[in-house]
Amino acid sequence: MRNLIYIFLGGGLGSVMRFLISNYTQKFWHINAFPMGTFLVNTSGCFLIGILTAYFLKVDNSLRYLLITGLCGGYTTFSTFSVENFSLWQNENYFILILYALLSLFVGVMMVFIGYYLVGD
């Protein structure tokens, strides 16, 4: 139960961080076509989950639920997607890596498209 509370708290904090960083970055970024706020959140989330994953492989404790699953998960799910792809790379599962990455991108965009058009324009 304690781990669920950690995930809950970290997820809330990560979501607020995502909103603030993305919002303020986009306000100061003058090229409106490029979604710099989301780009910054996704890339910094990947960097953060890399650091935390390396650390918690050496030190096993419940804070990984707060920081990796909760904070990084609330901040950006792209970081989880990236660390999963990194793990596939480390395990030399190259076919699954390519399949997962391409399918995730293609199916994700298609699901947004389908969902959008189901509701109507």
Annotated binding site for Na(+): 73, 76
Positive or negative CA dihedral for 17, 84, 87, 105? negative
Q: What's the CA gap between 84 and 64, in Å, rounded?
A: 16
Cβ–Cβ < 8 Å for 47, 38: no
Task: Scan for tokens 């994953």, then name that residue.
Answer: 53
Task: Please state the residue numbers annotated as binding site.
Answer: 73, 76
Q: How many residues does the chain have?
A: 121
User: Residue 83, Cα to own-chain centre: how many angstroms?
Assistant: 9
Torsion of CA 54, 58, 61, 67, to 10 degrees: -10
